[in-house]
Structure 1
Amino acid sequence: MHKISNLSNLANSRFPTRTEASKLLVIFQSKNIFFSTFSSSSSTTTPTPTPSLAVPTHERIVHLILDQKSAPQALQTFEWLSKLPNFTHSQSTYRALIHKLLTFRRFHTVQHLLDEMPKSIGLPPDESIFLTIIRGLGRARMIRDVIKVLDLVTRYGKNPSLKIFNSILDVLVKEDIDLARKFYREKMMGAGVQGDDYTYGILMKGLCLTNRIGEGFKLLQVIKSRGLQPNVVIYNTLLHALCNNGKVGRARSLMNEIKEPNDVTFNVLICGYCREDNFVQALVLLEKSFSLGFVPDVVTVTKVVEILCNVGRVTEAVEILERVESKGGVVDVVAHNTLIKGFCKFGKVKVGHGLLKEMERKGCLPNVDTYNALISGFCESGMLESALDMFNDMKTDGINCNFVTFDTLIRGLFTRGRTEDGFKILELMEETRGVCGGSISPYNSVLYGLYRKNMLNEALEFLMKMENLFPRAVDRSLRILGFCEEGAIQEAKRVYDLMNNEGGIPSALVYDCLIHGFCQEGCVREALELMNEMVFLGYFPVASTFNALISGFCRLGKDGSALKLLEDMVGRGCVPDTGSYSPLIDALCRKKSFQKAASLLLQMVENGITPDYLIWNSLFHCLSQQTIWLESNNLFRVHNLVEQIVEI
């Protein structure tokens, strides 16, 4: 048996002798490695199997080499097998070793192997080996060496096949489309190789990956000018690029050129329309694909469901899922989760919960995202007990809670005033290893909940306890609160801006202090901007925060803006208090607008809010100065107005 001496040296270890190889062969047999009872040189007559003549099949050897964990181990295995009696390596075993060596970047060793093949097995490397080398060099991003494989092929007396040219081209387009085009012109066309559909498909892929859509259309014309009909893969590649660049209408026009569009064609265009929120055209194409017997893939189905849910057409989304399933299409847990989120978004969380049961009935197991969507829906609907039941069901069903689970539930509980339950979930989150992930969000939810209950001292204490977990955020927050207390509002704003630039998320406590501080300084516009930012983060202000802005507007004489803010406050579900009405009534009285002030007083009393001494004082002081109004309306009417207020 021919010995591959070069590889022995490279492996840096002693190989087994022929006697040792025979012993190892018996061991291999005892480990259920499947063997053939004939060698490559045996006759067509099957000999009687004997342990001394049994040799492994080439297929098993290929798997054995590929299973090795390092290049030296693969080389040792290969050399050991070469010592087995009646065994000769083949193109397939050489290809397996070359693949393994390329994985570990042993390129020099591969060259030795190629040189050994004609002597060892009497054959030069075949096409499959060269293709393996091209792919290996491509994975290593050795682009220039990939091109040199052409010279390697001719070195062994062969002409590069179209498959080899295409494989090289495929590697080049992923790295440098210009180099790939140069290779096509100089190496392929220079050698008289025109290419086939696969060649043009590779070039189109390269052009589209680099957003050279115009050149892609030129390539399309070149293909047609050579009397060829571009296949659907080439068209689909160009369609995909057009859709990714927001040119879905142009893609739709191009689709008309395709003689036989396939399911991918429809998937690409439907997804394109979904990306543009054009659900009408997406549904039109979906219907057409159904009529042609195509079933959209799960990604496309999910996008259609999502866009329908976004516009509130969840019933249609259900129908589409059912239709896809009836035609044998795949509807996975992600598609179901999207539908559940759609129902929860529009307050139909109970319907979403019913879908969970339906999923399980069909054998589609829910995941953590399914439960998170329902917990969020229950929290948004104020159904906190149901949210806690879902949380407990997760543990029963063996689904591990993640950060989103805890964050959603903590926010829901604290927002709705369930501080005790919220603290229990927070403690459970902290005990669950690796869940928090260093995010401040649940802790800000705690601060928000305490702020909503006007437990500002408790909120400050909790903020101090957060210092070990979030030292920078706590430091910035305390500095802002300190500056606000000192009246240095501009310094506080500077630290706030610094916090935002660092990626920090200010708490509701910080926003409340800044809003009060700016209003006291008469900077109501800045305070209003901060309130908008506060609402954007999901922190809805309480009455005291609104009151600061109402007072600020009134001090600036902008009672119209203050009144509008009061109306907005009530419209958003925030219950006003005495502090909401008092500055407005006082401002109106100062402007001698007694009727407007009295109207506000009536509204206030109707809402069950008792006027304080300052309000009455403002009203009667205003009334005492309204001599003309008193003369025209007489004291009897004033008496009736006061009686009406008192009766309420």
Structure 2
Amino acid sequence: MPNSIGLPPDESIFLTIIRGLGRARMIRDVIKVLDLVTRYGTNPSLKIFNSILDVLVKEDIDLARKFYRKKMMGSGVQGDDYTYGILMKGLCLTNRIGEGFKLLQAIKSRGLKPNVVIYNTLLHALCNNGKVGRARSLMNEIKEPNDVTFNVLICGYCKEDNFVQALVLLEKSFSLGFVPDIVTVTKVVEILCDVGRVTEAVEILERVESKGGVVDVVAHNTLIKGFCKLGKVKVGHGLLKEMERKGCLPNVDTYNALISGFCESGMLESALDMFNDMKTDGINCNFVTFDTLIRGWFSRGRIEDGFKILELMEETRGGCGGNISPYNSVLYGLYRKNMFNEALEFLMKMENLFPRAVDRSMRILGFCEEGAIQEAKRVYDQMNSEGGVPSALVYDCLIHGFCQEGCVREALELMNEMVFVGYFPVASTFNALISGFCRRGKDGSALKLLEEMVGRGCEPDTGSYSPLIDALCRKRSFQKAASLLLQMVEKGITPDYLIWNSLFHCLSQQTIWLEGKNMFRVHNLVEEIVGI
């Protein structure tokens, strides 16, 4: 080389070139830097080799391994912890976990002690692939685990919903003086809240804070959601005040969680107070805020107030942003109030906003009215496959249609789907299925459905009992029919002509059959029923 250039470039210059070529993704040129170093009469340092290896690993693990074997080992360069850490990272990023274990063994066979970073990289890969148990066994090899070790494994167990093992490791990390990062702690809090163990979640956050850890707004929000899920929304509201006292400012998700909790508990005025507090605190509400309020008001039968909130959403946010959820909540509220004509009118008004959804819905309703239930189901399936969200009207119409065709199993599956998406059926929808079961001679299934209906807080009516009593009377099960009659009268439901007709027809048959045996018992039972 010419002497006029002065001193040869130092190591930092070559490292800068390697990083620059790496960012430009000029991978083959990165390897040529070794030749450039030797041209200046110096041998590449281990730091230069590692820097090149790090670039190669991010692009092509096979090329990186080839470089390690031929260039590094071929030059007699002994790798260090950083070298093996780079290779382990490359293998784990490409899910070559088996080869990662071979590398770990190779490190040990050279008389070296793998550092905790190498172990943590392999642990992370194992957990990402659902092999948390194997990761836990590997952890036992680590002489000095660090906080990252515990973070990786705790998160792995949380991903598997194994909160017991997650808590065991959390306790062990505390005992060793480690405080897991807030992301890991939040996952533990979330899994505990999901199973209703919110008090334990509170204790964990308190311990984290006592050990100098910082609990952020996301962790607090998770805890608030946990209390709201248990119906303890007032306790969740108290946590909001505690957050503010500690200097952790709530965000829109905090308020949305509490608004949702108040709505679910039927405390609509408190939900509205939270909404007003948001504006006072300078927090801009988002679509979720309005969506939650609208659903809360309409599902609780507050139709007029619900429409006011819908109008406010359209004014302040310039519409719904293409989200049909608030409008489906309106339809659900009208359906819950048995305002089917009004619901149909509102559905038609939605056409300009959601032409495809309205078109699909109207076709389903039309096919059901014509008795073409299979065609209606085909459009429903198409709607679902396109990502559409059927309204409560669609579910109700399909359930009635299938029941009329005698397809009770299909109707029951649709009711289950209806409940899954958050629409709880009204009495008329239950009644269609009860009648369908009775027509198929499955009065036992009809009776179970009636019990579930009552258990879920849906008030039955005459149409709920009438088909069941008639079916039991046809089977001459007078005692069961009479028991249902007593039950409905106790609920203040007046039996109709069909119920009385079925009972007396059954009773006349029972009297003939029982003549000379239990005549007086039947007579007394009739007096008891009529006398109520």
Q: Please indicate the TM-score interval, normalised by the length of the shorter structure.
A: over 0.9
The 3 A distance-change label for structure 1 pair 421 and 135 is farther
**Residue 473 of structure 1 is aligned with which of 332, 357, 367?**
357
Cα shift at 1:635: 5.6
1:395 maps to 279
Percent sequence identity is 94
SS at match of 1:379: helix
2:452 maps to 568
**Residue 504 of structure 2 is aligned with which of 613, 617, 620?**
620
Cα shift at 1:647: 3.4
SS at match of 1:401: coil
Contact 1:402 1:435 in 2 (8 A): no
Cα shift at 1:231: 0.8
Contact 1:130 1:149 in 2 (8 A): yes
Cα shift at 1:185: 0.8
Cα shift at 1:606: 0.8
The 3 A distance-change label for structure 1 pair 261 and 486 is same
The 3 A distance-change label for structure 1 pair 333 and 404 is same
CA deviation map 1:197-234 (0-9, x unaligned): 10100001111111211111111111111121111111
Contact 1:118 1:124 in 2 (8 A): no
State whether structure 2 residue 62 is matched by structure 1 residue 165.
Answer: no
Cα shift at 1:434: 6.6
SS at match of 2:516: helix
Contact 2:81 2:115 in 1 (8 A): yes
Rounded to whole Å, the distance in 2 between the matches of 1:327 and 1:195 is: 39
CA deviation map 1:403-447 (0-9, x unaligned): 211111111111111112211221222223377331211111111
State whether structure 2 residue 339 is matched by structure 1 residue 444.
Answer: no
Cα shift at 1:600: 1.1
Contact 1:589 1:619 in 2 (8 A): yes
Cα shift at 1:562: 1.0
2:313 maps to 429
Equivalence map 1:555-634=2 (5 Å) = 555-632=439-516
Rounded to whole Å, the distance in 1 between the matches of 2:428 and 2:238 is: 41
Rounded to whole Å, the distance in 2 between the matches of 1:435 and 1:637 is: 67
The 3 A distance-change label for structure 1 pair 633 and 601 is farther
Residue ranges of structure 2 left out of the alignment (5+ in a row):
none
Cα shift at 1:384: 1.0
Cα shift at 1:150: 2.5
Rounded to whole Å, the distance in 1 between the matches of 2:397 and 2:334 is: 14
Rounded to whole Å, the distance in 1 between the matches of 2:138 and 2:194 is: 29
CA deviation map 1:121-175 (0-9, x unaligned): 8455443333233223323333223223323333444432222221221122122
SS at match of 1:626: helix
* More displaced stretch, 238-247 vs 434-443: 434-443
CA deviation map 1:316-365 (0-9, x unaligned): 11111111111111211111111111111111111111111000000000
The 3 A distance-change label for structure 1 pair 324 and 516 is same
Residue ranges of structure 1 left out of the alignment (5+ in a row):
1-116
Contact 1:340 1:374 in 2 (8 A): yes
The 3 A distance-change label for structure 1 pair 332 and 121 is farther
Contact 2:511 2:519 in 1 (8 A): no
Rounded to whole Å, the distance in 1 between the matches of 2:81 and 2:5 is: 36
SS at match of 1:230: coil
* More displaced stretch, 310-319 vs 447-456: 310-319
Cα shift at 1:599: 1.4
* TM-score, normalising length: structure 2: 0.96
Rounded to whole Å, the distance in 2 between the matches of 1:242 and 1:567 is: 48
SS at match of 1:633: coil
Cα shift at 1:488: 0.8
* More displaced stretch, 619-628 vs 438-447: 619-628
CA deviation map 1:60-103 (0-9, x unaligned): xxxxxxxxxxxxxxxxxxxxxxxxxxxxxxxxxxxxxxxxxxxx
Rounded to whole Å, the distance in 2 between the matches of 1:329 and 1:239 is: 24
The 3 A distance-change label for structure 1 pair 120 and 366 is farther
SS at match of 1:482: helix
Cα shift at 1:491: 0.7
CA deviation map 1:220-256 (0-9, x unaligned): 1111111211111111111111222222222222222
CA deviation map 1:252-308 (0-9, x unaligned): 222222221111111112222222222222222222212221111111111111122
Rounded to whole Å, the distance in 1 between the matches of 2:318 and 2:91 is: 44
The 3 A distance-change label for structure 1 pair 423 and 151 is farther
The 3 A distance-change label for structure 1 pair 120 and 412 is farther
The 3 A distance-change label for structure 1 pair 638 and 210 is same
Contact 1:403 1:435 in 2 (8 A): no
* TM-score, normalising length: structure 1: 0.79
Equivalence map 1:28-177=2 (5 Å) = 122-177=6-61
Rounded to whole Å, the distance in 2 between the matches of 1:449 and 1:141 is: 57
* More displaced stretch, 269-278 vs 407-416: 269-278
The 3 A distance-change label for structure 1 pair 371 and 193 is same
The 3 A distance-change label for structure 1 pair 604 and 398 is same
CA deviation map 1:366-412 (0-9, x unaligned): 11111111111111111111111111111111111112111111111
CA deviation map 1:499-534 (0-9, x unaligned): 011111111100000000111111111111111111
Contact 2:61 2:91 in 1 (8 A): yes
The 3 A distance-change label for structure 1 pair 216 and 632 is farther
Cα shift at 1:597: 1.4
Contact 2:511 2:522 in 1 (8 A): no
SS at match of 2:273: helix
* More displaced stretch, 125-134 vs 400-409: 125-134
Rounded to whole Å, the distance in 1 between the matches of 2:235 and 2:167 is: 24
The 3 A distance-change label for structure 1 pair 410 and 124 is farther
Rounded to whole Å, the distance in 2 between the matches of 1:146 and 1:427 is: 61
* More displaced stretch, 388-397 vs 252-261: 252-261
Equivalence map 1:210-609=2 (5 Å) = 210-433=94-317, 436-609=320-493
SS at match of 1:522: coil
Rounded to whole Å, the distance in 1 between the matches of 2:437 and 2:455 is: 19
The 3 A distance-change label for structure 1 pair 429 and 131 is farther
Contact 1:298 1:330 in 2 (8 A): yes
Rounded to whole Å, the distance in 2 between the matches of 1:410 and 1:123 is: 75
The 3 A distance-change label for structure 1 pair 632 and 515 is farther
The 3 A distance-change label for structure 1 pair 523 and 121 is same
SS at match of 1:505: coil
When Rg is computed on C-alpha atoms for both structures, the one with the higher figure is: 1
Rounded to whole Å, the distance in 1 between the matches of 2:328 and 2:103 is: 56
